[in-house]
Amino acid sequence: MKRQMWLNQLKVAIVEKDTALLELLLNDIPKLEKKEDIESAIVLLGEATRLVQSLKDETQKSMRQVKKNIDFLKSGVADTPAKFDITS
């Protein structure tokens, strides 16, 4: 029963792109004995791997874009020399 529930939760985590649930499930993998459970787990874990890699790639792309945006914004700000206002 626990094995089937684990497999179902793994499916849900993949469909919902829930990396927190994936992490929890990967930290508590049950002992799978039935051939079909093992085969399902292999397929699902392969899909989870592809999902995590895809999310990692998206994050890297977003981080590069953020860095470009920051660099662009910094390039538009002129470096102003420090002035002392002693006219008071």
Interval 26-36: pLDDT, tens: 999 999 999 99
CA-only gyration radius of the chain, Å: 25
pLDDT of residue 78: 64
Asked, for residue 77, whether it belongs to a domain, the answer is: no
Position 83 in a domain: no
Q: Provide the pLDDT confidence category of residue 66 given band limits of 50, 70 and 90.
A: very high
How many of the other CB atoms lie within 10 Å of CB of 13? Answer: 21
Virtual torsion, Cα 60, 64, 69, 71, nearest 10 deg: 140
User: Quick one: tokens of 21?
Assistant: 């649930």
Structural domain containing residue 27: 2-60
Say what the pLDDT of residue 76 is: 79
The enclosing H or E element of 40 equals: helix 35-75
Q: Are 7 and 33 in contact (CB under 8 A)?
A: no
How many domains, in total, are found in the chain? Answer: 1
Residue 32 lies in a domain: yes
